[in-house]
Amino acid sequence: NGTGFKAESYWNAYSYLNVWVINNIDMEIEGGGTVLGYAQFPASGLLSTDGIAVRADNIDERYFGGRTATHEVGHWLSLIHIWGDQQCGSDNVLDTPTHFGPNFGVCGNHPTLDPNIGGGSQFHNTPYNVTACSPDQPDGEMFMNYMDYSSDACMNMFTLGQKARMDFTLHGDGSEPGIRSYLISQENLEATGVADPYTPSDCAPISSFYFDQTGDFATQKMICAGESVDFEETAYNGEVDDYMWTFEGGDPGTSTSANPNNITYNNPGVYDVTLDVSNSVGSDSETAEDMVIVSSTTAQYQSSWGYVDSYWSEQDFLDDYVVFNQDGSANKWEWYFGPDGGSTGWESMRMFNLDNDFSEIDEIVSPSYNLSTLNNPTLQFRYSGAAVDNTPDDQLRIMASDDCGETWSTRETMSGFELTNAGLVPGSYKPNANSVWTDVSVGLGSFAGKSNVRIKFRWVSGTRSNNFYIDDLTISGSPLGMDDLERQIDLSLAPNPTSDMTTVTMSLPESSRIRMELVDILGKNVTPMLDREMGNGTHKFDVNLSGQATGVYYLRIFVDNDMLVKKVVKN
């Protein structure tokens, strides 16, 4: 948004063409649409803002050769749009035809183009729009020109007149220099190291590396204990004579190979990797902290009934969960504590997302669970989210892994308004009532029988982001959702929080076996409460917490073969 980012990475425009590649361009465009790039015309602004800016998803061959950059460089070299920026206007170039206006999604029946590409283009036989402007033009409009708005796949030409205008901007005409002639002066070519012939001087290398990527994380690798990782150097700036790798927790612990393979990690932990590179001119060292995350092949949590996490303790959250915050910003998954900050208490897990960058990815991975004893396992949780305006476009992907996070399977994807159950909140959103929480149930049937399963929440930020909260995460083997069961038996628990007694009230539609037990936050069986057949109708049970320590407990209620869990807070 604006030009502030340019000051952070500006190179002297008297010597270089600045090309800023950015995630998003937050500019309004007449008639709507998305701005893909923009440029500064010659002699029209400050040197500190001179250059072109292009969205990252429109810069290279993945987007039909990156014609957006070609279009913007045309502006930077004095070309205006081929329609003259007005109906049947002039672009001040004699050999370009008059255009009625910009062409969108137009693509000619060109023999060198694949008719299956073009991003939804309309294919036209030339000539096109012969009678759009007066007088008629037998050859029609030149929609394949780089200075139109046609599909990138169909742009393929400048005219000789456009070429002459750009040449004049660089070279002038002999009587006066071009506006940008300083860039191609011999003095500047030599100063910037691009004059021919040129022999570059030796430079010290700069260390850089990555791992063989098979998972979702660009900067961190998750594996099981006993598995290995391959690494590859990407040092730059100078030729490397010597490599020295150091693998904390790895076997072997060091290597002098450029691209070491099969570095084995036998013990669970989080480990750094360091690469030192050198040549006759100098050396450099790079350390990737917490690059390799090694998990035990035995699940962290073992239970025959299921699992509940209501994020009561910040330390437990930090011990159990792995947060991936690749850009290092304040926008990340975190533990949250505040008034009504949780579904039934003050605690929850939050994706702090206000003003997050467009397309920024933040992930959080749960501890590992043994699901081998659960029939038809189901993940359930409650969430609360809001939008800052009426065009939310965030995405939440819920994933599962049974190989310590090395590979992931997507179980559910939520996006847009689906994530904004709390409505429109212009400022930083915080939940303030139980009514702003919504239940979600995600099937984990393909992970039944698996003994080491992790859950991942993958958040992709949109352009109008706000905060998002998760609470009461539960994994159970019940085929009936907890929320459905709770409504079916009209369950209530009050008072909650309590200092001594709380009362459970339920209405059974038919005779059922009821079993209740109180467990602490670690899942330890504290007090068996009830286990008997009960008839249909309304029933009340008192739960005595007077002998329990202050903290959070869970009441597990079994109705025949179905189960639900309610959090109880002891003051």
Helix (H, G, I), strand (E, B) or coil at 164: helix
User: Which H helix or E strand runs over 314?
Assistant: helix 314-320
Torsion angle of alpha carbons 441, 443, 447, 452, nearest 10°?
-10
Catalytic-role residue among 8, 61, 72, 314 = 72
Nearest by Cα to 337 from 552, 510, 132, 485 = 552
Q: How many angstroms separate the CA atoms of 548 and 501, rounded? A: 11
CATH class of 483-570: mainly beta
* Dihedral in degrees, nearest 10, Cα atoms 448, 449, 454, 455: 10
Would 209-295 and 483-570 be classified into the same CATH topology? yes
Q: Kind of pairing, strands 347-351 and 468-476?
A: antiparallel
**The predicted structure's pLDDT at residue 239:** 92
The DSSP secondary-structure symbol of 181 reads G
Q: Which two tokens stand for residue 367?
A: 């501890």
Strands 525-534 and 512-520: antiparallel
Q: Is 72 a catalytic residue?
A: yes
Tokens 């792995």 correspond to 322
CA–CA separation, 199 and 196 (whole Å): 9
Dihedral sign, Cα of residue 477, residue 479, residue 483, residue 489: negative
What one-letter code names the amino acid at 318? L
Sign of CA dihedral 365, 366, 368, 369: negative
d(CA 245, CA 252): 10
What are the CA-CA distances from residue 55 to residues 102, 300, 484, 491 (Å)?
20, 43, 45, 52
pLDDT value of residue 376: 82
Q: Which CATH architecture has domain 209-295?
A: Sandwich (2.60)
The per-residue pLDDT for 521 is 66
pLDDT at residue number 1: 53
Closest CA to 411 of 464, 370, 453: 453
Token pair belonging to 358: 């467009």
Q: What's the confidence (pLDDT) of residue 134? A: 81
Write down the pLDDT at residue 120.
Answer: 42
Rg over alpha carbons for the chain, rounded to the nearest Å, is 31
> Is the peptide bond prior to 127 cis by the omega test (within 30 degrees of 0)?
yes
Q: How crowded is residue 448: how many other Cβ atoms within 10 Å of its Cβ?
A: 16
Reduce the DSSP state of residue 493 to 3 states and report it.
strand
Are 538 and 529 in contact by the 8 Å Cβ rule? The answer is: no
Per-residue pLDDT of the chain (571 residues; tens, 9 = 90+): 566 788 788 899 999 999 999 888 877 666 566 788 999 999 888 888 999 999 888 887 666 667 899 999 999 999 999 999 999 999 999 999 999 999 887 775 543 344 444 444 445 556 788 888 888 888 889 988 999 988 887 888 999 999 999 999 999 988 889 999 999 999 999 888 888 887 777 899 999 998 865 444 457 899 999 999 999 999 999 999 999 999 999 999 999 999 999 999 999 999 999 999 999 999 999 999 999 999 999 999 887 667 888 788 899 999 999 999 877 888 999 999 998 888 878 899 999 988 777 678 899 999 999 999 887 899 999 999 998 888 888 999 999 999 999 999 999 999 988 999 999 998 899 998 888 999 999 999 889 999 999 999 999 988 777 999 999 899 987 544 555 677 778 888 999 888 899 999 999 988 989 989 888 766 666 688 888 999 999 999 998 888 888 888 888 888 887 778 888 888 8
In this predicted structure, what is the pLDDT of residue 118? 40
Q: Where are the domains of the chain?
A: 209-295, 306-477, 483-570
Backbone angles phi, psi at 166, to 5 degrees: -70, -40
Overall fold of domain 306-477: Jelly Rolls (2.60.120)
Complete DSSP assignment for 360-416: -EEEEEPPPB--TT-SS-EEEEEEEE-BSSS----EEEEEEESSTTSS-EEEEEEEG
Find the largest Cα–Cα distance for the chain: 103
What is the C-alpha to C-alpha distance for residues 532 and 525, in angstroms, rounded to an integer? Answer: 18
Q: Which amino acid, residue 136?
A: D
